[in-house]
Amino acid sequence: MALTKKTPDISSFEDHTRVWVFQSSKVLTDVDQLEISSILDDFLVKWAAHGADLYAGFEIRFDRFIVIAVDEHRALATGCSIDSMMKVVQQIDQHYKLDLLNRMKVAYRHGEEIMEANVNKFTQLLANGELNENTTIVFNNVVQNKGDLDAQWEIPVKNSWCVNLMS
In sequence order, what are the residues at sequence separation of 6 or more whose Cβ sits closer than 8 angstroms to the Cβ of residue 71?
Answer: 13, 14, 16, 17, 18, 54, 55, 56
Q: Where are the domains of the chain?
A: 10-96, 105-165
In this predicted model, what pLDDT tens digit does every residue of 16-49 receive, in sequence order?
A: 999 999 999 999 999 999 999 999 999 999 999 9
Question: Rounded to the nearest 10 degrees, what angle do helices 30-44 and 79-96 cross at?
Answer: 160
User: Residue 122 to residues 21, 53, 65, 89, 157: CA-CA distances in angstroms?
Assistant: 20, 41, 19, 26, 11
Distances (CA, A) of 8 to 13, 57, 66, 145: 8, 5, 15, 16
Task: Using the predicted structure, report yes or no on whether residue 122 has a pLDDT greater than 80.
Answer: yes
Instruction: Give the pLDDT confidence score for residue 167 in this predicted structure.
Output: 64
Tell me the C-alpha distance between 65 and 139, whole Å. 10
Helices (H), the chain: 30-44, 79-96, 119-127, 146-152
Q: pLDDT tens, 142-162?
A: 999 999 999 999 999 988 878
Distance from C-alpha of 44 to C-alpha of 54, rounded to nearest angstrom: 8
Question: What pLDDT shows up at residue 134?
Answer: 84
pTM confidence score: 0.93
